[in-house]
Amino acid sequence: MPQGKAREVWIEQCEAAQTIRVRFGLKSAFDYLVGEKLLNFAEAAANHGDFARELPRFVSEVRRMFTPEEVEVQLAHIERSQNETVMGVSDEDDPCPESPAEAAQRVRRFNLIKELPTATNLGTS
């Protein structure tokens, strides 16, 4: 992967989240950026040094974009939704419902990154 690609990725994602926030609101922007993009970025960081080096910068930008209160409320909302899915409460109109195993895996992945926006230390050790 070309040097700096990871940086370009998170910068573009943060810019997109700002547009989403203006057009669709806080929840949509947070779900996109944290619930989807930050999660994927953190997974890529486990195997790619460029992503691992950029992860603290990405998290710092998330912290700049959302207040601590917004982060707390939105993380709680995502977690509540995921728990409902795991417990079998889901959208009955969904043509491709998640299996319980898929839902549990998604919750495990989310739990790995939910601490990032509120962590006191963002080092890359």
What does the alpha-carbon distance between residue 14 and residue 33 come to, in Å, rounded to a whole number? 7
What does the alpha-carbon distance between residue 123 and residue 80 come to, in Å, rounded to a whole number? 29
pTM exceeds 0.85, yes or no: no
Of 111 and 84, more confident: 111
Calculate mean pLDDT across residues 24-50: 93
Mean pLDDT, rounded, of the chain: 83
What does the alpha-carbon distance between residue 99 and residue 118 come to, in Å, rounded to a whole number? 30
79-99 confidence digits (pLDDT tens): 887 766 556 555 556 667 667
pLDDT band of 74, cuts 50, 70, 90: very high
